[in-house]
Chain A
Amino acid sequence: MRKTVFGTISTFFVALSLGSLQVGTAIAIESAGVGALPAHPRVDNPRTKSIFVYDIRANDIVTDGIKVINNTESTKTLAVYPVDSQTSSDGAFACAQKVDPRKEVGNWIKLQAEQVTVAANSSQTIPFTLTIPQTVNAGEHNGCIVVQNVEQPTKKNDGVALSFRSALRVALTTPGSLQANLQLIDVQSRSISQKTLGVSPILKNTGNVSADTHISVKLAGVFGFRYPFSATAGQFPVFPGVQTRFNFELEKPFWGGWYNRDVEVGYRKQLASGQLSDDVSNIKASRIVFIGPQPVALLIESIIALIVAGLIFYIVRRYRLHPYSRSTNDYVVQEGDTIESVAKHFNITAQELVKLNALQPPYALKKGQVITVTIHLKRPPGHSPDKQL
């Protein structure tokens, strides 16, 4: 808003000085702080909009430029310097510090100026030359050009005092036998939080040029059920000679359980011609892992387990008390039947028969009397509830 007002006022005064009442607007939109871009990106390589990429031979000299940008509201004095690249933790790309000795790409780049003052919301281009030494190994060589505000933040008296800088990668490839060979060294996983599982494929590039990889990580059900419960992917470079770890985060399945943790890495190999193969080489790894349920799921599962356990206990207990399933039926007393003989016939106790029919002492049965008997569903062979004595 402030910039809009400023722009309008500026325009008004400029217009007034030219004897005009026409109102135009010029709005500069701030997008970031201090940074840099390649000054001369190549049309044939979109990557050169963001970084410097060269295919270059020994003894070659290249001239190029870095566009140093000040998108702040004040004039900045910026240090611009080349450094070698370093391997950061997890095998990620990093730039050496200004004090570090420059042995390779950082030493091959000579900037026309290593300090520049850039007005607010503007940019300046600093030309540089890149001189490749007479002897250089075939393959990829990386370095950085760094832009850093000379005026750094005030330092505190204790703790970690922080400074900031921006850098552009400088990637040189010198001809020869170029290879990018990836190995999937390991896939590690760990629980990050109740809802998040960390899965980290570890790749090693044994070649001499970077491999642009597409890494996908997913959890899928076991027993052939392949629907991915949780999946993620990313495209990352794996730098030559470096073992690189990528930390993906997946959403844990709500109910937990056993899952297939699938990792797939795709990349295009470098051909002898220097071009990338049309075919994608794939490396796959799959492992079954157990994932604990989330707390709410654990509670629900515990309740269900308790209910199931209670039911099982009830059924077992009932089975032990009454090992046979039974129903009742009417029985017409025959000549000579006694409580004991009827009970024995139906495989129940005399006491059970007495209790079932509320018989009173002396527990005599009369021919033609109808009594209730218990019929065992699992009976000794040869007996039938309808069988008459």
Chain B
Amino acid sequence: MCFVIVISSSGVAYAANTPTFNQTITSGGLSTDILDASRVSVASPSATMSPKGFSFTCLTGGSASTGTLGTDSQRLYVVNPSGANNGWTLTIAATSGATALWSDGGSNTYDFNDAGTAGCSDGADADTKAGQLTIDPSVGTLTADCTSCTTANITKGSTSAFVEGTQNNVTLLNAALASDDVWRGYLTGATLSQTIPAETPGAAYTINMTLTATAL
């Protein structure tokens, strides 16, 4: 008498009288995460911005605070285990929506999506804060990280600034229908540039942003 153990995905065991080898491959959905070079999830994923001294003038253009989204130790991964076969997008937006602000945790804040004078003055949005964040994924590097996949049919987004109400999301990656259905890869080197309004009080400021991988 012999038994074969069949383990279902729910972990329940059944007995059968025919010898069979079974294995379960759990299906997966499209996902995104920040992983390190060993593909381990980073505990506090972030993009650090360059520090700036207090200034009576607006810090914009070459004087703006800059950062990098996706570094070698914080790779911006997308994993598609055949969950998004029609293509997908990777976008970034402020978690608190269009009215989000950079904040020091107290009363000091400035804006990330005010288009007034390239972020140097308060525009026609709902708040009274200036400041604008620009993201340029096009200068980044897209790397495929699986044996059978390539970066073909995946395009990087253009440089884009957040504008309250009209540009709440920035496209980082756009995968076509013909992109690999089973794909894992990462983006590094997308640049960030934040206009700092004049006379912004010195403090450590944070803004929460959410990366969304969407199956199309």
Contacts and interface: CB of A to CB of B under 8 A. Distances in A.
B187 to A, nearest CB: 13
B85 interface: yes
Interface in B154-198: 155-158, 160, 167-171, 174, 176-179, 192
Given A51-B86, A147-B29, A165-B210, A22 B22 contact: no
B24 interface: yes
Given A50-B85, A92-B171, A246-B155, A160 B69 contact: yes
Contacts of B148: none
6 contacts: A29-B26, A71-B81, A92-B171, A156-B48, A161-B208, A235-B176
Interface in A163-210: 163-169, 192, 198, 200
Contacts of B93: 86, 94, 97
Interface string B61-97: 0000001010000000001110111110101011111
Contacts of A50: 83-86, 215-216
Most buried by B among A86, A97, A157: A97
A14 B7 contact: yes
Interface string B31-44: 11110000001111
A13 to B, nearest CB: 10
Interface residues of A, number: 81
B26 A25 contact: no
Nearest to A36: B29
Contacts of B25: 28-29, 31
A265 to B, nearest CB: 13
A144 interface: yes
Contacts of A168: 29, 214-215
A20 B42 CA distance: 44
B209 A160 contact: yes
A383 interface: no
Contacts of A232: 152
Contact of A89 (B81, B169, B204): B169
Given A15-B5, A89-B171, A157 B211 contact: no
Contacts of A235: 87, 153, 176-178
Contacts of B21: 24-25
A237 interface: yes
Given A32-B80, A86-B169, A157-B206, 13 more contacts: A14-B13, A34-B31, A37-B29, A69-B29, A93-B216, A99-B96, A144-B214, A154-B43, A158-B206, A162-B46, A165-B32, A166-B212, A234-B176
